[in-house]
């Protein structure tokens, strides 16, 4: 059964800093991996989706990588801004018919 | 892109009453709908999986008679919390997908408060 772990649980950085959020998963037979953002009391915003055949995806200041052999994914945020403050969730599925399994998230605070 | 419309966004109900949450896929056919709940400061936990026209499959520890899921069409799935109690207060969110695609589309969630 797929399990997803995120480290660190919380992170506070000054504005402008580049940062990396880590995600690990137990089942290397991954179908896809998705990063989400969740603001307090709100729903999910999909940031990046990496298919099993891909190694990375980029969107603006965000870059996500996938290493199936080591069971890891990273989300890189460049030039962080206070508006990036939110909880970032990593989720993985093991096949096309199975649900996404979520990590507990990393709560990011970017200080102006 | 694919959109799942979830309603209501929030609801307050009295203990013992039932609440229905709707998720509609607006521009795609959701062959599968997943239902999650999220307690404060915790991550999303899968409650059940429903395929159009079939009975839902519930995760261990989720009472199927309490959380009724209906997925009668490819564009509508509902979750009814029956005889709600304060411990059912949570954030409920649905996620739809179409066979053959990689993406999962999430609704905006429903915050349920039972008083």
Q: What is the DSSP string of A5-36?
A: EEE-SEEEEETT--EEEEEEES-SS-SEEEEE
Q: What is the DSSP string of B24-68?
A: EESSS--SEEEEEEE-TTS--EEEEEEETTS--EEPTT--TTTEE
Query: Residue A78: phi, psi to the nearest 5?
Result: -95, 145
**C-beta separation of A59 from A47 below 8 A:** yes
Asked if the Cβ–Cβ distance from B102 to A44 is below 8 Å, we say no
Q: Nearest chain A Cα to B34, which residue?
A: A99
Whether the CB of A14 is below 8 Å from some CB of chain B: the reply is: no
- Closest Cα partner for A64 from A39, A96, A92, A41? A92
**Residue A110: is its pLDDT beyond 90?**
yes
Residue A98, judged by CB atoms within 10 A of its CB (0-12, 13-18, 19+), counts as middle
**Residue B44: is its pLDDT beyond 70?**
yes
> For the residues A37-45, what does the mean pLDDT come to?
91
- Supply the pLDDT for residue B52: 86
**Residue A34: is its pLDDT beyond 90?**
yes
- Supply the pLDDT for residue B112: 97
**Residue B36: is its pLDDT beyond 70?**
yes
Q: Nearest chain B Cα to A10, which residue?
A: B41
* Residue of B92 and A41 predicted with greater confidence: B92
> For the residues B49-70, what does the mean pLDDT come to?
93
- Around Cβ B93, how many Cβ atoms within 10 Å? 26
* Residue of A42 and B113 predicted with greater confidence: B113
**Residue A36: is its pLDDT beyond 70?**
yes
**Residue B27: is its pLDDT beyond 90?**
no
**C-beta separation of B56 from B50 below 8 A:** yes
Whether the CB of B46 is below 8 Å from some CB of chain A: the reply is: yes
Please report residues of A whose CB lies closer than 8 A to that of B108: 42-43
Q: Which two tokens stand for residue A6?
A: 């995120």
- Supply the pLDDT for residue B72: 82
Sequence-distant (≥ 6) Cβ neighbours of residue B63 within 8 angstroms: none
pLDDT band at B54; cut points 50, 70, 90: confident
- Closest Cα partner for A24 from A93, A75, A76, A70? A70
> For the residues A57-82, what does the mean pLDDT come to?
97
**Residue B33: is its pLDDT beyond 90?**
yes
**Residue A103: is its pLDDT beyond 80?**
yes
**Residue B103: is its pLDDT beyond 80?**
no
- Supply the pLDDT for residue B100: 67
* Residue of A97 and B33 predicted with greater confidence: B33
Please report residues of A whose CB lies closer than 8 A to that of B32: 97
In this structure, is the dihedral angle defined by the CA atoms of residues B3, B69, A39 and B111, taken in order, positive or negative?
positive
* From B32, B45, B46, residue closest to A97, measured CB to CB: B32
- Supply the pLDDT for residue A19: 96
* Residue of B31 and A65 predicted with greater confidence: A65
Helix then strand then coil, % of chain A, to nearest 5: 5, 55, 40
Average pLDDT over chain B, rounded to an integer? 92
User: A24-33, A57-66, B50-59, B94-103 — which one is most confidently predicted on average?
Assistant: A57-66
Please report residues of B whose CB lies closer than 8 A to that of A49: 102-103
């Amino acid at each position: 059964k797929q399990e997803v772990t995120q480290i660190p649980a919380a992170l506070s950085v000054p504005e402008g800093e580049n940062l990396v959020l880590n995600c690990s998963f137990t089942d290397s037979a991954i179908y896809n991996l998705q990063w989400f953002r969740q603001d307090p009391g709100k729903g999910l915003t999909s940031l990046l989706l990496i298919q099993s055949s891909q190694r990375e995806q980029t969107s603006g200041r965000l870059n996500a990588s996938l290493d199936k052999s080591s069971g890891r994914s990273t989300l890189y945020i460049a030039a962080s801004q206070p508006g990036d403050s939110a909880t970032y969730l990593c989720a993985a599925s093991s096949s096309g018919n199975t649900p996404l399994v979520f990590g507990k998230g990393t709560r990011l605070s970017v200080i102006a | 892109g694919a959109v799942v419309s979830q309603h209501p966004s929030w609801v307050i109900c009295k203990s013992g009453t039932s609440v229905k949450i709707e998720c509609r896929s607006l521009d795609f056919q959701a062959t599968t709908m997943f239902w999650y709940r999220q307690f404060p400061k915790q991550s999303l936990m899968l409650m059940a999986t429903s395929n159009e026209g079939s009975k839902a499959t519930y995760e261990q520890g989720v009472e199927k008679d309490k959380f009724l899921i209906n997925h009668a069409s490819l564009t509508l799935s509902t979750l009814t919390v029956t005889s709600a109690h304060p411990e059912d207060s949570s954030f409920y969110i649905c996620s739809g997908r179409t066979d053959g695609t990689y993406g999962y589309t999430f609704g905006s969630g429903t915050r349920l408060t039972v008083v």
